[in-house]
Amino acid sequence: MMKLEAAIFDLDGTLLDSMPIWEGLGQNYLLQKKVQPAPGLQDTLNTMSLQQAAQHFREAYGLREDEETIIWEIQTLIADLYRYEVPLKAGAAEYLQTLQEQNVKMCIATATERKLAESALERLGIREYFSTILTSSEVKAGKDNPLIYHRAVEHLGAPLTKTIIFEDALHAIETATSAGFRVVGVYDESAAQDRERIEALTEQYIYSFSDWKG
């Protein structure tokens, strides 16, 4: 196995066991606005950044609030969970420490908004491992577009062949592998139904970071 020089980590469902708090969030938000969600709303939102979701709520449901207000309102619903409760995935802290000891450069590439990401990472004591946090909103592209991964590689400055992306969601893995990135699939219950497809696309599929053979 070629020596690893850099690692790009997704956040929710990969490092953080946080996907359960997102299930039903969009539906609950719309219901608070007295708007009836369409069937399959969660499937629609699963591939979207928060910015894209806010745009969808305006276009599909006629919400009058601007996108920044919608994002702020959604963040407010879950901010305390990131600040106080969301746990790390099994073996994540130990694996990050190992990579740091091996001088592997690391960053975060996430669809989650920066304030939520930073509050969880700082509470869990792992913010120091990452040289930067890249968010979909800030790069102005969701993970249906490889831009966030290209920006991460540019920041880390390592060759593509010596860089690994850790992701749990099929749509993000499809984007990254189609763009030529090396990807390790990380199991999350929210994507359990996609396991076979993820295994076919990734160079390794792990249930815990203690399983990674890198």
Whole-number Å distance between alpha carbons of 118 and 133 = 8
Same domain, yes or no, for 137 and 191?
yes
Same domain, yes or no, for 53 and 110?
no
Residues 166/9, Cβ–Cβ less than 8 Å: yes
Average pLDDT over the chain, rounded to whole? 93
- Write the burial class of residue 102 (CB in 10 Å: 0-12 exposed, 13-18 middle, 19+ buried): exposed
214 pLDDT tier (thresholds 50, 70, 90): low
Name the domain count of the chain.
Answer: 2
Choose the final residue of a domain: 84, 99, 133: 84
Same domain, yes or no, for 165 and 181?
yes
> b/e for 79-90, b at 16 or more Cβ within 10 A?
eeebeeebebbe
Same domain, yes or no, for 92 and 27?
no
Same domain, yes or no, for 151 and 106?
yes
Per residue in 58-111, pLDDT tens?
Answer: 999 999 999 999 989 988 888 888 999 999 999 999 999 999 999 999 999 999
For the entire predicted model, the pTM comes to 0.84
The residue among 23, 19, 20, 31 whose CA lies nearest residue 57 is 31
Whole-number Å distance between alpha carbons of 28 and 35 = 10
Report yes or no on 140 lying in a domain. yes
Whole-number Å distance between alpha carbons of 16 and 211 = 17
Choose the final residue of a domain: 84, 108, 138: 84
Whole-number Å distance between alpha carbons of 195 and 100 = 29
Q: How many CB atoms lie within 10 A of CB 169?
A: 24
pLDDT at 202: 97
pLDDT at 122: 97
Choose the final residue of a domain: 37, 59, 84: 84
Same domain, yes or no, for 43 and 94?
no
Report yes or no on 165 lying in a domain. yes
Average pLDDT, integer, range 196-214: 90
Domain range for 31 is 20-84
Average pLDDT, integer, range 27-33: 90
With tokens 């740091």, the residue in question is 100
Per residue in 144-187, pLDDT tens?
Answer: 999 999 999 999 999 999 999 999 999 999 999 999 999 999 99
Which positions ≥6 away from 144 have C-beta within 8 Å?
Answer: 47, 171, 175
Report yes or no on 1 lying in a domain. no
Same domain, yes or no, for 190 and 114?
yes
